[in-house]
């Protein structure tokens, strides 16, 4: 089917064939495939599976979808070989198209369904969960029409999910997130940004209990998140690397202290508008740098990026913080920068922190002073 849902016509298929053949003739790698397995390709139905999949790797996903409607042979070949698909370009009929494609594309490992205008409904996600059992990476962001039924289906049909983006899906409940994590225990990246209803302490406790391999979690603008949930994450997800708590206005120093002590590989922390955060949290982060290096040294498998610790810290609008405490954090983590072009310590809205400088910024200031005198 085409994007408008109409059946492909013969002239469409011939046009598609010519387009694909143009790609072949201009692509050296495909030429190698064709020389190694010489075939006479007179018509679009004659293209062998290996060559077809190589060609389709060079065109956009709309062409892949068109090609799957050419004939049963092409549909079977694509279905058995296609692992990555993005439908973000579709402005309409995404739901119906997925209902048609899901039974054919059973080997998908990555599927991006991000929408500007909500199209997806539960029956499409249920179809994905039923047929795409090898799925590892799924983007459902801005799917405002989805309900808990979708997460229940994914829990049963795609237990090996490693990356899930449901940002902006405000209808999901915390119970659905709990249910999902009981089955999808291999999650490494989870985006709950804007899931105000779903992201609660109860949900975070389940994540901490079930998803010990989690490395990235986005909880931005989830203002129901509190210390109990974050502390559960710090205890249950020791490999956490990236955590966004921007506008989680209920959290206090206890959350940051738990993360500093429980997540030695944390490299990015977002605390925008977390105005209950005080110097106590900053000094805890600074002290964790020493503990981090000792832990990674003892493990004997540390890498340079692990040893650097925090590389990004957003404390914008955290107005209770003072310069000495923030300077202690900056001094403890050399990858945090305040210098122009490398801002990774973000302090917007904190006028009292303008004196905080990273090491290279201080060196530049000293050099300018030396030249001036």
Residue, of 3 and 112, whose pLDDT is higher: 112
pLDDT at residue 350 greater than cutoff 80: yes
| Residue 38: pLDDT band with limits 50, 70, 90 | low
Minimum mean pLDDT range among 28-37, 178-187, 245-254, 312-321: 28-37
Q: Which helix (H) or strand (E) holds 190?
A: strand 189-191
Longest dimension (CA), the chain: 80
Structure tokens at 92: 């309409």
* Domain spanning 84-367, CATH architecture: Alpha-Beta Horseshoe (3.80)
Quote the pLDDT of residue 29.
Answer: 46
DSSP structure class, residue 44: G
Average pLDDT rounded to a whole number, residues 152-162: 98
- Judged on CB neighbours under 10 Å (0-12, 13-18, 19+), 36 is exposed
| Residue 295: pLDDT band with limits 50, 70, 90 | low
pLDDT at residue 302 greater than cutoff 80: no
Quote the pLDDT of residue 78.
Answer: 85
Read off the pTM: 0.84
Residues 6+ apart with CB under 8 A from 299: none
Mean pLDDT, all residues of the chain: 86
| Residue 106: pLDDT band with limits 50, 70, 90 | very high
pLDDT at residue 371 greater than cutoff 80: no
| Residue 70: pLDDT band with limits 50, 70, 90 | confident
Phi, then psi, of 26 in degrees rounded to 5:
-100, 5
Q: What tens digit of pLDDT does each residue of 186-210 get?
A: 999 999 999 999 999 999 999 999 9
Q: Are 102 and 124 in contact (CB under 8 A)?
A: yes
In the chain, domain spans: 1-82, 84-367
Residues 6+ apart with CB under 8 A from 35: none
């Amino acid at each position: 089917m085409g994007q408008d849902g109409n059946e492909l016509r013969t002239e469409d298929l011939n046009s598609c064939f010519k387009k694909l053949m143009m790609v072949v003739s201009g692509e050296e790698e495909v030429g190698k495939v064709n020389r190694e397995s010489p075939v006479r390709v007179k018509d679009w139905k004659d293209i062998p599976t290996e060559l077809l999949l190589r060609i389709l790797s060079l065109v956009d996903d709309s062409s892949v979808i068109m090609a799957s409607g050419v004939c049963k042979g092409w549909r079977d070949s694509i279905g058995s070989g296609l692992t990555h698909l993005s439908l973000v370009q579709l402005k309409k009929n995404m739901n119906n198209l997925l209902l048609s494609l899901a039974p054919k594309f059973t080997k998908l490992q990555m599927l991006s369904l991000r929408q500007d205008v909500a199209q997806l409904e539960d029956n499409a996600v249920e179809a994905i969960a039923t047929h795409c059992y090898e799925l590892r990476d799924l983007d459902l962001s801005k799917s405002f029409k989805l309900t808990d039924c979708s997460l229940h289906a994914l829990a049963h049909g795609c237990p090996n999910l490693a990356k899930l983006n449901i940002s902006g899906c405000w209808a999901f409940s915390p119970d659905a997130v709990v249910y999902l994590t009981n089955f999808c225990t291999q999650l490494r990246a989870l985006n709950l940004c804007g899931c105000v209803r779903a992201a609660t302490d109860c949900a975070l406790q389940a994540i901490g209990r079930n998803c010990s391999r989690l490395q990235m979690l986005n909880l931005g603008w989830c203002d129901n998140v509190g210390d109990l949930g974050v502390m559960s994450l710090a205890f249950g997800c020791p490999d956490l690397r990236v955590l966004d708590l921007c506008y989680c206005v209920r959290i206090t120093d206890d959350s940051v202290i738990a993360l500093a002590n429980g997540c030695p590989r944390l490299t990015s922390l977002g605390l925008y508008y977390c105005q209950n955060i005080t110097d106590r949290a900053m000094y805890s982060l600074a002290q964790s740098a020493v503990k981090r290096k000792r832990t990674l040294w003892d493990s004997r498998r540390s890498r340079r990026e692990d040893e650097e610790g925090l590389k990004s810290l957003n404390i914008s609008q955290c107005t209770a913080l003072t310069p000495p405490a923030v300077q202690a954090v900056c001094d403890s983590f050399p990858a945090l920068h305040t210098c122009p072009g490398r801002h990774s310590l973000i302090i917007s809205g904190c006028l009292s922190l303008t004196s905080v400088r990273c090491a290279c910024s201080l060196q530049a200031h000293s050099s300018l002073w030396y030249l001036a005198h």
